[in-house]
Amino acid sequence: MKRIALYLTLLFLPLSSLQLAAQLPWQAESPKRELRAVWVTTLSGLDWPRTRATSPAGIERQKEELRTLLDQLKAAHINTVLLQTRIRGSVIYPSDIEPWDVCLTGQFDRNPGYDPLQFAIEETHRRGMDLHAWIVTIPAFKTEAARKMGRRSLLKTHPNLLHKHNDQYYLDPGLPGTADYLSSLIREVVNRYDVDGIHFDYIRYPENATTFPDDKTFRTHGKGKAKPTWRRDNITHIVRRLYREVKAVKPWVVMSCSPVGKYRDTRRYSSRGWNSFDAVYQDAQGWLREGIQDALFPMMYFTGDHFYPFAVDWQEGCYGRYVAPGLGIYFLHPQEKDWALSVITRELHYLRRNGLSGQAYFRSKFLTDNTKGLYDYLQQTFYPHPALPPAYTWLDPTPPSTPEGFTETAIDDQLTELRWHPSTDRATGSQAKATANVRYNVYASYDYPVDITKGENLIATALAEPRYIYNRRYPEQYGLNLAVTAMDRCGNESEPAQLGKERQTATQPAAERPRLRPLPGEEHYMPHDGHTLSLPDLETEYYLITDLTGRYVTSGTYRRQVDITRLCPGVYTVRTLQKRGVSRRIGDFKI
């Protein structure tokens, strides 16, 4: 079987180690803008939450789980969290339409005592990442769950919209009421919450669609179309309506979906009967062409000729919108397909080299558990520095104004606060840039002026407030210069404000300069001298140190000074630990 091109054969050369992968000649540089997304699955608490919010202590543990997860994703330079918000006819926020999901408390429609979606948005934004509400659209629930969901179940409130197919209930996309119902859910989320995106999952007909029981619907609403065309039109109608309704309210909210990983048979390779267009009636590339999706995260959980030809096809059919293929990293696990890490690393480099807009990972636990060393590979090799999501210039092409009044003030003998005036760009119609919707990026460089086109200079992203605190020790040691930009919710970035023309370019040759150290942000690292870590004066029995993947590193009887000379370079979390199992996070430190 023929390969697509000569260079594609490089992808099938054996890789013996991460070091070899890092040295391959076709490895593409880490760009300043790239979608780096992770699906966080709440179904059955697969990724989060792992504990139940049935008491004040349970609520706090559930929150702390999410904080830890987001810290891990932030440390790996992930910039987009796709959080499962609607699961199967149930949700993780206080809805007027659907019941609470069972994952939060162990019981359907039981209030967990806080708003998990609001909490997740605040924590994600605090770390400079975007949160997209992941909405499972057409599936409702399995038959065994239907009896447990209570009076607010779809089976009680809208039984006329549902069909039973195999062991699950589904909304019927051909019924006009289905678009109305989904519209009400999406409006509820967008109007109430400051989400950065709405991400549709399963916006299609189910597997084995030929037996889906919609013959009566087709007879009533088919209007003389062939059934496959009618079905595709039904899904497209829902996508179009939801896109337009969201944009009318908040034009900056990114609309995306995760279609089946193969769009259609290509001239290069057959999809072997499983594709978006023919099998489940998703015209995903048609949505990009029409402009009713801003981004796609196709589920490309494949290898070899099932992956590479179809990745090229998505890129060729993107129509100027963004495509960030989803990678099936769960197949790395020995209990799944036990893929070698090189399967994923080759795909990563291929996507970046061929100009796709980024990557997405299904699902977060297999990333944060460092399955086959993937987390280490991303943090150390593939994502060596932060990246901004791409700008959605078709939504609004005009950048905000440059921040003014950029100053620095010493807080103490180490910490310095940067401040600048808030953006003064005001709302003027549907493409408004309200002050509350402007965020800020901070850059650092050895050279003056700071070059903001280089991703390696980016040290803080999407700050909500016009301030940033950093450790002055690093600029004094390495002669760093600083710059700040304003960024609107569509990703448009202003020209930089440079800090003080009196700062000069470092005289040390670039090749001899130490690597730029990430500067701590509003969550400061705990102080240490490289040998001894100082802990606060607390009433507790033990301390526990983990790495950012949550793995145990060391522990001991609690004391104010802890020896850290044997720890490898990295970021660590310190926690208290009591004999009765109660643990509390103290903070992070970096070596």
Give the Cα separation of 526 and 414 in Å (integer).
12
Residue 483 has phi, psi (to 5 degrees) of -145, 155
What pLDDT shows up at residue 476? 55
Q: What is the mean predicted confidence (pLDDT) over 536-556?
A: 77
DSSP state at residue 100:
B
* Residues 335-370: tens digit of each pLDDT: 999 999 999 999 999 999 999 999 999 999 999 999
| Residue environment code for 270-297, b if the CB has 16+ CB neighbours within 10 A, otherwise e | ebeeebbbbbbbbbbbbbbeeebbbbbb
Structure tokens given for 280: 């489940």
Q: What is the pLDDT of residue 437?
A: 82
Split at pLDDT 50, 70, 90, the class of 237 is very high
Q: What is the pLDDT of residue 563?
A: 84
Q: Which residues contact residue 435 at a Cβ distance below 8 angstroms, ignoring those fewer than 6 apart?
A: 422, 423, 424, 425, 426
The candidate with the shortest Cα–Cα distance to 193, out of 262, 124, 146, 256, is: 124
What distance lies between CA 345 and its chain's CA centroid? 19
Q: What is the pLDDT of residue 517?
A: 44
User: What pLDDT is recorded for position 561?
Assistant: 84
The mean predicted confidence, pLDDT, of the chain is 87
553 pLDDT band, cuts 50/70/90, is confident
Residues 357 and 125: their CA atoms lie apart, in Å, by 22
What integer pLDDT is reported at residue 344 of this predicted model? 98
Burial of 452 (0-12, 13-18, 19+ CB in 10 A): buried
Question: Is the pLDDT higher at 21 or at 118?
Answer: 118
User: Between the CA of residue 470 and those of 270, 480, 528, 548, what are the distances in Å?
Assistant: 53, 12, 15, 21
Q: What is the pLDDT of residue 270?
A: 92
The proportion of the chain whose per-residue pLDDT surpasses 90, expressed as a percent, equals 68
Centroid of chain to Cα 419: 28
pLDDT band of residue 434 (cuts 50, 70, 90) is very low
Q: 3-state DSSP call for residue 360?
A: strand
CA distance 251 to 248: 6
For the ranges 46-60, 167-181, 440-454, which has the lowest average pLDDT? 440-454
Confidence band (pLDDT; 50, 70, 90) for 588? Answer: confident
* Sheet of 407-410, strand order: 407-410, 415-419, 467-471
Q: Supply the DSSP string of 478-499, one letter for each residue.
A: H--EEEEEEE-TT--BPPPEES
Q: Which two tokens stand for residue 253?
A: 């909210």
Q: What pLDDT, on a 0 to 100 scale, did the predictor assign at position 579?
A: 63
Rounded to whole angstroms, how far apart are CA atoms 567 and 128? 28
Place 15 in a pLDDT band, splitting at 50, 70 and 90. very low
**Around 556, how many Cα atoms within 13 Å sit in the side-chain half-sphere?**
9
- For residue 286, what is the enclosing H or E element? helix 284-290
Instruction: Tell me what the mean pLDDT of segment 494-500 comes to.
Output: 89
User: What pLDDT, on the 0 to 100 scale, is given for residue 10?
Assistant: 29
DSSP letter for 256, please. E
Angle at 29 between CA 506 and CA 256, to 5 degrees: 120
- Rounded CA-CA distance 429/178 in Å is 31
Q: How far apart are CA 532 and CA 559, in angstroms?
A: 11
Q: How far apart are CA 326 and CA 222, in angstroms?
A: 34
CA-CA distance, 275 to 281, in Å (whole number)? 9
The residue among 55 and 540 whose pLDDT is bigger is: 55
Reference 283, options 229, 323, 359, 320; nearest CA is 229
pLDDT at 377 (0 to 100): 95
Q: Alpha-carbon distance 290 to 132, whole Å?
A: 22
* Mean pLDDT of the 488-510 span: 75
Reply yes or no on whether the pLDDT at 566 is more than 70. Answer: yes
What digits encode the pLDDT tens for the residues 145-166? 888 898 999 999 999 999 999 9
Residue 187, pLDDT > 80, answer yes
Query: What domains are defined for the chain?
Result: 6-382 (3.20.20.80), 407-512 (2.60.40.10), 532-590 (no CATH)
Q: What is the pLDDT of residues 375-422, one digit of tens each?
A: 999 988 999 999 999 999 999 999 999 999 999 888 877 778 899 998
The two three-digit tokens of residue 317, written as one number: 């059919």
Rounded (10°) CA dihedral 115, 118, 121, 125:
-120
* Predicted local distance difference test score (pLDDT) of residue 1: 33
Q: Is 244 helix (H, G, I), strand (E, B) or coil?
A: helix
More confidently predicted of 565 and 52? 52
